Structure 1
Amino acid sequence: MNPLLRTERLLLTPYTPADEEEFVALFQDASVSRWMGDGPSTEAEDRALFGRIFTKVYAENRFEVWAVKVGGELVGHAEIKPTEASGGHEIIYALAPGAWGRGLGTELALALVGHGFDTLGLAEVHATVAAENAASLAVLGRIGFVHVRDIQEDDGSTTRLLTCPRASAPAAERAVRTAEAQSAQVRTPEAQTR
């Protein structure tokens, strides 16, 4: 059963059928989908993917996948699952553009890594990120992920395989404090008026 995960600002909860429209909107956003899987999909493919979360992932207890919410609004998607590319458990996450720039990516990645270490008992957690996705590479680097190797994709692009060993947990905790401090600065009245 998919557990609820909470951070200071995020609630990671199992999807419900009522989340379908927001899920499809997230995955149909070109600035989000360009970094997910094989890139943008059709709306019908994203609706089929949403259906498989219930009929395959949850029904067969394959791995954990969550709707990421702030104040009841779906702002992202998150998973932790075993993958061939990593040879272990990989975190996968996406946030809607309206949630960017507020430290939520760091908060979300840390929640997934913490779940991997504390609940799943993993010794290390992995991530695969497109080499051009500087924002995600920076987030993961701040919380203790290190570059392991590059994977050359069939289309000629490069994907970076990153690993966060359990020993990096103290660095991850420092990253949380930094992200919280940055988000507090963003919430100041001056920042809100810009």
Structure 2
Amino acid sequence: MTPTLRTERLLLEPYVPADEDDFVALFQDTGVSRWMGDGPSSEPEDRALFGRVFTKVYAQDLFAVWAVRRDGLLIGHAEIKRTDVVDGHEIVYALAPSAWGCGLGTELAQAVVAHGFGALGLTEVHATVAAANEASLTLLHRIGFEHMRDIEEDDGSTTRVLTRRR
């Protein structure tokens, strides 16, 4: 079950069905989605993804997926899940552009990492980040992640694998 987490300014809690439009708006923002998964998706694909959060991820208790709120508004998304790419647990986070530049990304990433080390008992947590995503790479280095290796993607781009050990 996805627990509720609190930071100084953020509330991370499971999504509720009423979050669908805000979730889709977040994922439809190309400034956000260009760094997520395979990049921007269509609105119907993002709505289907939101549905799978309930029918698959929450229903089967696969991993933690959070709606990230500030002052009651959905401003982001976060996850921690086991992936074969890193052969361990990976953090995923995204914030709406309106929340950029004021330290909320750092606060969010630290909360998800702390959950991994605490509640999940992990000894290391990973992140995969596009090499061109300098803001995320800087944030992760600042909170103790180290570059481990690069993955050359089929489209010629590079993904960096970073790890933070407990």
For normalisation by structure 1, the TM-score amounts to: 0.85
1:96-149 residue CA offsets vs partner (Å, 9 max, x unmatched): 000000100000000000000011000000000000000000000000000000
User: What residue in structure 2 maps to residue 47 of structure 1?
Assistant: 47
Query: Partners of 1:86 and 1:26 in 2: how far apart?
Result: 26
Deviation at 1:75, TM superposition (A): 0.2
Question: What does the per-residue CA deviation read over 1:43-81, in whole Å, with 9 as the maximum and x for residues that have no partner?
Answer: 000000000000000000000000000011000000000
Which residues in structure 2 correspond to 1:58-69 (within 5 Å)? 58-69=58-69
Of Structure 1 and Structure 2, the greater strand share is in: 2
Task: Quote the Cα distance in structure 1 between the aligned partners of 2:48 and 2:160.
Answer: 28
Q: CA deviation at 1:10?
A: 0.3
> Following superposition of structure 1 onto structure 2, how do residues 17-32 of structure 1 map, counting pairs within 5 Å?
17-32=17-32
Aligned length: 166
The 3-state SS of whatever aligns with 2:164 is strand
Which residue of 1 is the match for residue 151 of structure 2? 151
CA distance in 2, matches of 1:16, 1:71: 17
User: Partners of 2:68 and 2:57 in 1: how far apart?
Assistant: 17
What TM-score does the superposition give when structure 2 sets the normalisation length? 1.00
- Report the Cα distance in structure 2 between the residues aligned to 1:101 and 1:18, rounded to whole angstroms: 28
Instruction: Please tell me whether residue 8 in structure 1 is matched to residue 8 in structure 2.
Output: yes
Structure 1 stretches of 4+ with a deviation exceeding 4 A read: none
Fraction of identical pairs, as percent: 73
Counterpart-to-counterpart distance in 1, 2:71 and 2:29? 21
What amino acid is the match of 1:95? L
Which structure carries more helix by proportion? 1
Query: Where does structure 2 lack aligned partners over 5 or more consecutive residues?
Result: none
What is the distance in 2 between the residues matched to 1:39 and 1:83? 18
Question: For the residues of structure 2 that align with 1:3 and 1:41, how far apart are their CA atoms?
Answer: 28
Structure-2 separation of matches of 1:147 and 1:30? 26
RMSD in angstroms over aligned alpha carbons? 0.3
Q: Which runs of 5+ in 1 are unaligned?
A: 167-194
